[in-house]
Amino acid sequence: MDDVAKGQNLDDFLINLAEGLSKAQSRLNQYPVMNAMGQQSMVYHIPRMEFELKLQMTTANSTPVGSGRTSSRLAKAKLQFLPVKGSQQQSSSSATSIIKGVMVAAPLDSTVPQIQLSLSVERLSARKAEVKVFALTTADASLKGAVVELNIDRELSAKMGKSALKPSTRLERAALVLDEEGYASAGLVISNQEAEGQIIALIADLFGQSQTLLYRFEQGR
């Protein structure tokens, strides 16, 4: 694996793999499957990842700063792990090992309160709407003062809609502070050049939880 950095502990490689898996799942969460009504119907989930690491373990001497023969006797040997590339030759002070394993998605601890995040949009006028955010915990704990990051996913909007969103289509606020009941809102301004039926993808993030809503722009009567 050329993209795995070297390290002095095997943990370095396992953490690197876990972070990559987490980023892949987060990316999938941003692209839920929508039904004909533009509502989220399901999200893809990575249940497991099998991996194989071929590592070369080498020893490197570490000598403290100083001079003379005394300091040389204080040299310490440290074990260093490097990913093996191609037909790399092995030195006398190194050994190659193959580590195989599986990372399995485990359910969250049911004793820890989980956050439930929801989004809705209310049309105010022809080209103005209000995006409403609501968040609560499974333990009914107050989230007052928590900040929700609200954004327009322009890449997803272009993919699901007729064309790319106009630059002037924007949110009036991106950081929303929840009130005592877990509510917050922000205005959505829609460009005069935006076509009827254009999809606007909204995404909210709170404490690692994400929620996506596809809003279809309709001017109405």
In a domain, 3, yes or no: no
Instruction: Convert the pLDDT of each residue in 119-171 to its tens digit.
Output: 999 999 989 999 999 998 877 777 889 999 999 999 999 988 878 999 999 99
**8 vs 155, more confident:** 155
Instruction: Convert the pLDDT of each residue in 168-197 to its tens digit.
Output: 999 999 999 999 999 999 999 999 999 988
In a domain, 183, yes or no: yes
Tell me, yes or no, whether 50 and 135 share the same domain.
Answer: no
- Region for 68 from its dihedrals, namely left if φ exceeds 0, alpha if ψ lies in -120 to 50, beta otherwise: left
Tell me, yes or no, whether 44 and 120 share the same domain.
Answer: no
Tell me, yes or no, whether 71 and 153 share the same domain.
Answer: no
In a domain, 156, yes or no: yes
- Select the highest-mean-pLDDT range: 6-10, 11-15, 66-70, 94-98: 11-15
Tell me, yes or no, whether 126 and 212 share the same domain.
Answer: yes
Instruction: Convert the pLDDT of each residue in 73-84 to its tens digit.
Output: 445 555 565 665
Measured in degrees and rounded to the nearest 5, phi and psi for residue 18 equal -65, -40
Tell me, yes or no, whether 133 and 210 share the same domain.
Answer: yes
Both tokens assigned to 82: 């490097």
Among residues 167, 149, 156, the alpha carbon closest in space to that of 199 is found at 156
User: pTM for this structure?
Assistant: 0.53
How many domains in the chain?
2
**28 vs 180, more confident:** 180
49, with CB counted inside 10 A (0-12, 13-18, 19+), is: middle
**Residues spanned by the domain of 80:** 10-104
Among residues 5, 217, 30, the alpha carbon closest in space to that of 124 is found at 217
Asked if residue 57 has pLDDT above 90, the reply is no
What CATH number is given to the structural domain containing 128? 2.60.40.10
Q: Confidence band (pLDDT; 50, 70, 90) for 8?
A: low
Q: Is 27 helix (H, G, I), strand (E, B) or coil?
A: helix
Give the pLDDT score at 99: 76
